[in-house]
Amino acid sequence: MSSINDQLAQLQTDSLAKIEQVTTLLILEDIKTQILGKTGALTEILKGLKDLPNSEKPIIGQLANTVKTTLTTAIDSKRSYLEEEALASQLAQTTIDITLPGIAITIGKTHPITQTIDHIVSLCKQLGFSVAQGPDIETEYTNFEALNVPKNHPARDMQDTFYMKNGNVLRTHTSPAQIHAMTAQKPPIKIIVPGKVYRCDADVTHSPMFHQIEGLYVDKNVTFAHLKGTLEWLLKELFGKNQKVRFRPSYFPFTEPSTEVDVACFKCNGDGCSLCKKTGWLEILGAGMVNKNVFRHVDYDAEQFTGFAFGLGVDRIAMLKFGISDIRLLYENDIRFLKQF
């Protein structure tokens, strides 16, 4: 009995050593046949089993099984090791130049004007404004008279107007959307209106078509302090928390009191440079408390309700944010330009 016992032990030791040293899968399979195959070493040893007393047979049988399991496990683990090694060396052979540029459909860009509008709109939505629209062609009434700019009023000079052949006008500001909104809906009202506006004017900073965002908030007890709070929050979200903002008295026929809002010049931080015309400030928007005459035109109770309105020049903000110096670039749509944003 001890001899078979020893033989099995010897087989295990020798075989493990052999397996350990194998370097190819082919040899590994050979060794497996030599040890565990039908005519392999283990079978040979177990032939001696028949000569043993019955009482020992189960013990030796169990031992043989253990040896077989041990060797099978060793072969399997060696095999997977060799397989991985083979794969690794195969993968290492890959010759594709990974420093070549990637290949893809380049995702298109959003126009800087749209990016600016989207940004402002999303900020205003956080304050509870909803988005409304208005047409580009307006009547003189909605563009001017309803906004307290009567015919033959000098305030008409503030905006050079395009007239249509039928006497209508291309809206000179998004403010007529206020009239449409207030005609359609009773207060409270809290809307923003992004859109295209038109003025007969063209140079590096003026385009005959440009973009504005109108804001209107009408309710009971709306104050100038609310106007300031809203615009200050908006401009700081837009330009950075530390952005200095100032409110200057101004004049618009459709608001009273009126204000122009400046932010400290980004380029010179308020010291004065060519961008801010040496003032240290950049004019960003006009705003004010809705003039009572506007309320009267839309049949709102001017004693019960107050409201504020503001108009942001989108092109100017986009130009400032992205450092674009010529407004015409915005409408030339050079793909090399568009891809920068």
- For residue 182, the partner it binds in other proteins, Zn ion, none, with Cβ less than 5 to 8 A by kind, is none
Q: For residues 46 and 209, which CB has a smaller minimum distance to other proteins in the complex?
A: 209
3-state secondary structure of 335: helix
Q: Identify which range of 17-25, 31-39, 79-87, 223-231 contacts other proteins by CB under 8 A.
A: 223-231
**214: part of which helix (H) or strand (E)?**
strand 209-219
Bridge partners of 246, per DSSP, are 262
- Out of 79, 196, 206, 267, point to the residue binding Zn ion (CB under 5 A): 267
User: Per-residue string for binding with other proteins, 266-295, x by CB under 8 A?
Assistant: -----------x-x---------x-xx---
- For residue 5, the partner it binds in other proteins, Zn ion, none, with Cβ less than 5 to 8 A by kind, is none
- CA-CA distance, 176 to 145, in Å (whole number)? 10
- For residue 234, the partner it binds in other proteins, Zn ion, none, with Cβ less than 5 to 8 A by kind, is none
Reference 238, options 263, 258, 209; nearest CA is 263
Structure tokens belonging to residue 217 = 């908030």
Reference 244, options 213, 268, 222, 223; nearest CA is 268
Q: For residues 268 and 329, which CB has a smaller minimum distance to Zn ion in the complex?
A: 268
Q: Is 137 in the site for other proteins (CB under 8 A)?
A: yes
- For residue 221, the partner it binds in other proteins, Zn ion, none, with Cβ less than 5 to 8 A by kind, is other proteins
Q: Is 17 in the site for other proteins (CB under 8 A)?
A: no
Structure tokens belonging to residue 142 = 């909605």
Instruction: With beta carbons less than 8 A apart as the criterion, state whether 261 and 246 touch.
Output: yes
Q: Is 333 in the site for other proteins (CB under 8 A)?
A: yes
Q: Is 131 in the site for other proteins (CB under 8 A)?
A: yes
Q: For residues 51 and 334, which CB has a smaller minimum distance to other proteins in the complex?
A: 334
Closest approach, Cβ 92 to other proteins, in A, equals 23
Angle at 107 between CA 105 and CA 109, to 5 degrees: 145
- Out of 9, 59, 86, 164, point to the residue binding other proteins (CB under 8 A): 164
- Out of 36, 63, 127, 268, point to the residue binding Zn ion (CB under 5 A): 268
Q: For residues 128 and 323, which CB has a smaller minimum distance to Zn ion in the complex?
A: 323
- For residue 214, the partner it binds in Zn ion, other proteins, none, with Cβ less than 5 to 8 A by kind, is none
Q: Is 276 in the site for Zn ion (CB under 5 A)?
A: yes
Residues 6+ positions from 206 with CB-CB distance below 8 Å: 199, 327
- Out of 18, 196, 267, 321, point to the residue binding other proteins (CB under 8 A): 196
Radius of gyration of the chain (CA): 42
- For residue 88, the partner it binds in other proteins, Zn ion, none, with Cβ less than 5 to 8 A by kind, is none
**What amino acid occupies position 64?**
A
Residues 62-121 that bind other proteins (CB under 8 A): 100-101, 103-111, 113-114
Q: For residues 275 and 302, which CB has a smaller minimum distance to Zn ion in the complex?
A: 275
Bridge partners of 209, per DSSP, are 198
**59: part of which helix (H) or strand (E)?**
helix 57-92
DSSP code of residue 314: H
Reference 160, options 203, 112, 113; nearest CA is 203
Closest approach, Cβ 277 to Zn ion, in A, equals 8
Q: Identify which range of 131-139, 174-182, 269-277, 308-316 contacts Zn ion by CB under 5 A.
A: 269-277
Q: Is 95 exposed, middle or buried (0-12, 13-18, 19+ CB in 10 A)?
A: exposed
Q: Is 265 in the site for Zn ion (CB under 5 A)?
A: yes
Reference 173, options 291, 298, 310, 284; nearest CA is 310
